């Protein structure tokens, strides 16, 4: 099985890019067992809700290769699930793999789990391509409705965090329609939020867009509201880590503020996500667990030093307390629509129910 984000090498080892080293160094890491998969998810060497789910499924398969007993199966499921509590795709993928292998005799489990992990990967790539098509149609329709502007003026989009191909198995979610429009020759430009504290926008989204030749500009997180007020943003589109049953959306910290600014300025704020990101067990955003991450992500900033090496520098005084919630919740009322592989749905209880029905409610 090959994809741009995950691959199995000739020795049967799962390999993927170490995203903590981008954009300064492109290096693959080898995931040889459940411990490697767990560590890669926790440290964010792999990140992005769909990719986390796929690596979780592979971690379960690798665990069963070593020990296919009931005890080992349930322990691997528990350990991998605990790696990232907010992204529901991890539970979705682990539960899907568990349903496939748990009824089988232990001798058949490893092969079945591997096949299921491969199926999850292939399905994600197809899913994201279809998200791109539905999102591209939205953006083209928006461009057609905008007031007359000079010929060739680009559609200006704002995104937050990284929801591109390296956050998924291919194409991405929020970036998928941008890539499609760029390939079609539609003039566009992307405002890329730096996305503190881990700078996934500045480090990853900008790197992806540069690789594809997509015009973009990196901005500090607090600049988006000003650009919206100045008429320099036509729409915002982001990915997400979990959608509640009422349409509330959990995404990288700072997303809520962009949605508020977009609403105040009368701009569309779309959320691109596979249906697997919907959690019907979470009644609303208050039921979504918010991951509290390592304070060092705030106290230190990583980057390339003057001598060309990569390191981290402290930017917060010693002794100052730090809070580091990794996500926030954007209320459904601020979301213009959920762009899924099955179409665009309202961010509401009714819209979520329709999306789940289209995807086969779980």
Q: What is the dihedral sign for C-alpha 64, 67, 70, 74?
A: negative
Cα four-point dihedral sign 177, 183, 185, 187:
positive
Name the residue among 154, 129, 127 with its Cα closest to residue 142.
154
Q: What is the pLDDT of residues 57-109, one digit of tens each?
A: 999 999 999 999 999 999 999 999 999 887 788 999 999 999 999 999 999 99
Top-level CATH class of 133-359?
alpha beta
Long-range Cβ contact pairs of 229-233 (< 8 A, separation 24 or more): 229/261, 229/265, 232/156, 232/191, 233/156, 233/157, 233/158, 233/191, 233/262, 233/265, 233/267
Confidence band for 9, pLDDT divided at 50, 70 and 90 = confident
- Cβ pair 190, 143 in contact under 8 A: no
If phi > 0 it is left, if psi is from -120 to 50 it is alpha, else beta; for residue 152 that is: left
- Cα–Cα distance measured from residue 116 to residue 51, given in angstroms and rounded to the nearest whole number: 15
pLDDT value at 1 more than 60: no
pLDDT of residue 88: 85
Domain spans in the chain, listed from the N-terminal domain onward: 6-122, 133-359
Residues 199-212 have pLDDT tens digits of 999 999 999 999 99
Is the bond preceding residue 23 a cis peptide, omega within 30 degrees? yes
- pLDDT for position 218: 98
3-state secondary structure of 251: strand
**Which pLDDT score, from 0 to 100, does residue 2 have?**
44
What's the CATH code, domain 6-122?
1.20.120.420
pLDDT digits (tens, 9 = 90+) for 279-318: 999 999 999 999 999 999 999 999 998 998 888 999 999 9
Q: Which residues are bridge partners to 157 per DSSP? A: 190, 235
What lies within 8 Å, CB to CB, of 82 at 6+ separation is: none
Which residues are designated catalytic?
241
């Amino acid at each position: 099985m090959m994809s741009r984000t995950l691959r199995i090498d000739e020795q049967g080892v799962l390999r993927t890019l170490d995203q903590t080293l981008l954009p300064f160094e492109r290096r693959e890491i080898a995931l040889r067992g459940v411990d490697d998969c767990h560590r890669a998810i926790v440290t964010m060497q792999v990140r992005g809700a769909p990719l986390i789910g796929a690596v979780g499924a592979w971690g379960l398969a690798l665990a069963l290769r070593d020990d296919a007993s009931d005890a080992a199966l349930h322990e691997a499921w528990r350990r991998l699930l605990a790696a990232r509590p907010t992204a529901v795709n991890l539970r979705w993928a682990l539960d899907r793999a568990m349903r496939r292998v748990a009824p089988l005799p232990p001798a058949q489990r490893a092969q079945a789990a591997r096949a299921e992990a491969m199926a999850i990967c292939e399905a994600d790539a197809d899913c994201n391509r279809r998200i791109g098509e539905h999102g591209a149609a939205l953006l083209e329709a928006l461009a057609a409705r905008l007031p007359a502007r000079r010929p060739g003026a680009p559609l200006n989009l704002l995104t937050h965090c990284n929801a591109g191909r390296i956050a998924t198995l291919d194409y991405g979610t929020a970036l998928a329609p941008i890539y499609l429009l760029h390939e079609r020759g539609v003039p566009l430009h992307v405002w890329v939020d730096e996305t503190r504290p881990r700078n996934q926008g500045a480090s990853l989204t900008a790197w992806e867009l540069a690789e594809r030749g997509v015009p973009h500009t990196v901005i500090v997180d607090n600049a988006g509201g000003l650009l919206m007020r100045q008429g320099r943003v036509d729409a915002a589109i982001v990915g997400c880590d979990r959608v509640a049953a009422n349409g509330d959306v959990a995404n990288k910290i700072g997303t809520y503020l962009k949605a508020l600014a977009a609403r105040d300025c009368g701009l569309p704020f779309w959320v691109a996500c596979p249906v697997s990101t919907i959690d019907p067990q979470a009644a609303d955003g208050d039921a979504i667990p918010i991951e509290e991450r390592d304070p060092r992500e705030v106290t230190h900033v990583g980057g390339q030093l003057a001598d060309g090496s990569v390191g981290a520098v402290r930017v917060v005084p010693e002794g100052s307390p730090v809070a580091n919630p990794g996500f926030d919740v954007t209320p459904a009322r601020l979301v213009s629509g959920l762009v899924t592989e099955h179409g665009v749905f309202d961010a509401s209880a009714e819209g979520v129910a329709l999306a789940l029905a289209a995807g086969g409610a779980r």
